[in-house]
């Protein structure tokens, strides 16, 4: 174990003293550090002449004027409008994204209801006349749904379709009505 070179004290532990006797490089470094420490204590501190300090301060004042208030830069009008337009654009894009997300969630919910209704219809063994008429209306709404481009109108058509399918499921048929 070598002696910590950053620890320079007069008293060493017995283990450290034994190490110094056996390790030449540590003994040399320890002695060098002791000599440097003692010579550093004998060095006298020199103060530069006051004229040097004045010369330094004069040069510094020429490079940077002392305590001049900085003028606030005014934003050009064009730059102001560009930043305002960017902010408005960001808000509009955010709003459109949120609106699209909400519409997609509604569409998913309506599609899920329609899938459940179709599964319930698949379990019916026979159709009544009233149910067949409702089925024709459902097919007509589906044809409109295929040709529609706007998402909001598609959502309305899907809701109308699910309403018609619910009527078909709830219509049990009258006793005098014949199945097809």
**Domain map of the chain by residue range?**
1-41, 104-180
Question: What are the angstrom distances between the C-alpha of 11 and each of 2, 34, 35, 45, 146?
Answer: 16, 12, 15, 28, 96
DSSP H or E stretch at residue 88: helix 77-122
What tens digit of pLDDT does each residue of 75-121 get?
A: 788 888 999 999 999 999 999 999 888 888 887 787 777 767 666 66
Looking at per-residue pLDDT, the higher value among 27 and 89 belongs to 89
Four-point Cα dihedral 62, 67, 68, 72, nearest 10 = 130
Give residue 11's pLDDT.
72
Give residue 70's pLDDT.
61
Is the pTM higher than 0.85?
no
What tens digit of pLDDT does each residue of 56-81 get?
A: 888 888 776 545 556 666 778 888 89
């Amino acid at each position: 174990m070598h002696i910590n070179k950053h620890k320079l004290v007069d008293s060493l532990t017995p283990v450290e003293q034994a190490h110094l006797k056996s390790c030449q490089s540590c003994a040399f470094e320890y002695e060098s550090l002791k000599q440097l420490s003692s010579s550093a204590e004998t060095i006298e501190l020199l103060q530069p002449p006051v004229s040097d300090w004045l010369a330094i301060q004069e040069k510094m004042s020429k490079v940077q004027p002392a305590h001049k208030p900085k003028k606030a830069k005014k934003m050009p009008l064009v730059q102001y409008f560009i930043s305002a337009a960017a902010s408005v654009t960001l808000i509009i894009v955010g709003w459109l994204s949120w609106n699209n997300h909400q519409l997609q969630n509604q569409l998913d919910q309506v599609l899920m209801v329609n899938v459940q209704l179709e599964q319930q219809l698949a379990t019916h063994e026979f159709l009544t006349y009233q149910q067949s008429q409702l089925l024709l209306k459902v097919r007509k709404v589906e044809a409109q749904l295929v040709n529609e481009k706007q998402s909001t109108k598609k959502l309305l058509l899907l809701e109308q379709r699910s309403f018609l399918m619910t009527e078909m499921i709830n219509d049990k048929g009258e006793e005098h009505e014949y199945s097809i």
